[in-house]
Amino acid sequence: GDVLLPAPQSISILSTNMKHFLTWSPVIVQGATVRYSVEFQGEYEREYANGSWIPISECSLTTATVCNITEDISATVAYKLRVRAELGATRSPWGTTKGFFSRAMTSLTPPVLRVVADGHHVLVELADMGPSFQFHVLYWKKGQESRVQQKVVKEVSSVVHLDTMEAGAEYCVKARAHVEAINRSSSFSPTQCVRAQGDTSVWL
């Protein structure tokens, strides 16, 4: 006879650095492969499109219990997500996220920063965190903490020139990630200091 499929449980969203994933617990049916389908609903669909839901094709009839929803959570509004189990023609009820999810709730980690001195020049290399990110890079001459300068770095595919240093002086640098779309920043990376004339960076 037809199996009664329960709705997936423990549905939650993991979101770090503007990458969002929906996860849920597997529905177990002995000797059978259960598949899942995921749909999303933004505030627009709730208020202007009769509460309609939009399927995520990459997570339709998937056997995985995780779905990358980053591409669809692409506006700063409140979203709802739902998932159901499917086994042949049998479908479970929808399991829906409790409450709403907005990408403004993502957790932001400090950027990975490498500071290099090359002659009189201080340069920074920042690990790419994705298209939503830019970086606030703060730098100052050691001992002159009150005269901090800031540079906004958007292109991270390379070694970015920060500034020129006075001979023999030591300069310190730290950076944080910033997402304009949600107007939030991460905490700062640890400070790194370098000395003019080719010193390697020193962790503080």
Partner 1 sequence: SGELNCSLPSPRNVHFESINMKNVLHWSAPEGTGNGVLYKVKYTVYGVGKWIRKPECRNINRTWCDLSSETSDYEEQYYASVKAFLNGTCSDWMETTRFNPLTDTKIDPPMVSVSSTDRSISIILTAPEKWKRSPEEESISLLQVYPGLQYNVSVLNKKTKKRWFFSISNNTLVVPWLEPGTAYCVSAQIHVTTPLLDSDFSKEHCITTLKDK
Partner 2 sequence: LGACRVSMSMTEVRAGFTAIKANIQSRDPIRTLSILSHPHSLHKVKSSDRCCITHQLFTFYVDKVFKHCRTEDSFVNRKISSIANSFLSARRKLGQCHEQNKCVCGEESTEKFKQILANYEGLNVTSAAMKSLGELDILLDWMEKSR
Among the listed residues 72, 97, 115, 139, the single contact to partner 2 using CB under 8 A: 72
Query: Rule CB under 8 A: which of 91-120 touch partner 2?
Result: none
Alpha carbons 203 and 83: distance in angstroms, whole number: 46
30 binds, among partner 1, partner 2, none (CB under 5 to 8 A by kind): none
User: x-or-dash pattern for partner 2, window 161-190, by CB under 8 A?
Assistant: -------------------xx-x-------
Alpha carbons 170 and 122: distance in angstroms, whole number: 10
Instruction: Specify the residue, 126 or 193, whose C-beta has the smaller distance to partner 1.
Output: 126
Shortest Cβ distance from residue 195 to partner 2 (Å)?
Answer: 38
Check residue 43 for interaction with partner 2 (CB under 8 A): yes
- Alpha-helical segments (H) within the chain: 43-48
Q: Looking at residue 58, what DSSP letter applies?
A: G
144 binds, among partner 1, partner 2, none (CB under 5 to 8 A by kind): none
Check residue 120 for interaction with partner 1 (CB under 8 A): yes
Q: Looking at residue 117, what DSSP letter applies?
A: E
Among the listed residues 7, 87, 138, 153, the single contact to partner 1 using CB under 8 A: 153
The closest alpha carbon to 68, from 36, 110, 38, 29, belongs to: 38
The closest alpha carbon to 199, from 118, 124, 88, 80, belongs to: 118
Whether the CB-CB separation of 69 and 20 falls below 8 Å is answered with: yes
Instruction: Specify the residue, 44 or 143, whose C-beta has the smaller distance to partner 2.
Output: 44
